Amino acid sequence: MLEAPHMLLIGATDRNIGKTELACAIIRRFNPAQPVTAAKITVIREEGDRCPRGGEGCGACTSLEGDYDLMVETNRDGIKDTSRLLLAGADPVFWLRVRASHMAEGLDLLSRHVDPRAPLVCESNSIRLAVEPGLFLMVKDSRSAVCKPTARAVAGMVDRTVHTDGERFDLDLDRLTLQDGRWRLREAATAIIMAGGRSTRMGRDKRLLEIDGLPLVEHVHDQLRDHFDELIISANDDANDFLALPTVADRTAGMGPLMGLASALETVRHDVALAVACDMPKIDIHLAHRMLNQADDYDAVVPRVVQPSSSDTPRLEPLFAVYRRDMAPRMFELLAQGERRIRSVFAGARVHYVDLAPDAAPRNLNTDEEYRAYVERVAHHD
């Protein structure tokens, strides 16, 4: 899959609910201080003579000769979506038509016409199956339950669902930022860095292990700070004070990570929080966004690593998971009953599990061997 951190991709659950309007608003938000390129991507499927978007069709599919075609928009009459993007300030603006079986080639063609240093705003659902953008937004009409097939196919990949009532969007555009050409979304949520463990298997304080010239805990902090309103540390000493973050000590020491999580969770400013182990050198921020996006109506959202063709019980990742603040009282109740495991909270709670393949699972550094192997891999990659 193509990685495109400079791309902000916008999809929609239905037609004519504001996808282009949101794209234009984002372009205006950054233009002219930050020039933006834009593209409308039409993915075409062979479905007889009928348009895959319903109705009798607009001719976009039947008029395509070959597997893909790229056009540059120059008309400023504001009638077509691409013209509206141009009027909003994007320059250049492209229309890519590509058959579903040739999305990679179509994206390659687009990339050869786009300045790699310029942020790119794209409209499409299906192209998400071929590209990992810096951010993927999905527009949803809050008055309707309609979800077209192309939106359902990528629903689990959405970083943020943007609801609209036909007049406004529930996304504060000031939460979108660009850093070194990469899109960022600052969540109205808290990140809790769990740093209260004893590093028994490591044999030394894993928080201070050097990763890319920084202590591991600082490396974790730096990956999270641009994506959350609030960051706090769960720890029982002052070893993390150099990060200048609030540190929350356990109510009662020596009772394990459940106590650390409960103690931190009851202090957070937001309704939801992402718990992150301090020994995780590579944060999957897309997974974090997706879990937060799926947290509505749930007490927790937890990754579940599923082994293909195996009867093994799926492995849960409770220290890279989303929790509601009001879960803290239940956690303290379980602690009073002698429980120490975070996963004990899931029984009887409304939990949404996000299934992951083993190669997509969060990685921790638990032993010195794992640390050395990770450093060696990074050095080899560089």
Does the structural domain 187-381 have CATH classification 3.90.870.20?
no
CB 162 within 8 A of CB 169: yes
Q: How many of the other CB atoms lie within 10 Å of CB of 231? A: 19
3-state class of 347 per DSSP? coil
Q: How far is CA 310 from CA 279, 305, 306, 313, in A?
A: 28, 12, 8, 8
Label residue 239 exposed, middle or buried (CB < 10 Å: 0-12, 13-18, 19+): middle
Total-model pTM = 0.91
What element of type H or E holds 108?
A: helix 103-111
Cα of 112 vs its chain's centroid, Å? 26
Identify residue 136 by its one-letter amino acid code: F
Domain boundaries, the chain: 2-185, 187-381
Q: Find, among 332, 274, 279, the residue nearest to 301 by Cα.
A: 274
pLDDT at 213: 86
CA 102, CA 126: separation in Å to the nearest integer? 12
Q: Class assignment of domain 2-185? A: alpha beta
- One digit per residue, pLDDT tens: the chain, 382 residues? 899 999 999 999 999 999 999 999 999 999 888 999 999 999 998 655 445 444 455 556 667 888 999 999 999 999 999 999 999 999 999 999 999 999 999 999 999 999 988 999 999 999 999 999 999 999 999 999 999 999 999 999 999 999 999 999 999 999 999 998 899 999 999 999 999 866 666 766 888 888 888 899 999 999 999 999 999 999 999 888 899 999 999 999 989 999 999 999 999 999 999 999 999 999 999 999 999 999 999 999 999 999 876 667 889 999 999 999 999 999 999 999 999 999 999 998 999 999 999 999 999 888 888 888 888 887 666 6
56 - beta bridge partners? none
CB 80 within 8 A of CB 73: yes
Q: How far is CA 130 from CA 1, 6, 98, 124, 211, in A?
A: 5, 15, 12, 11, 31
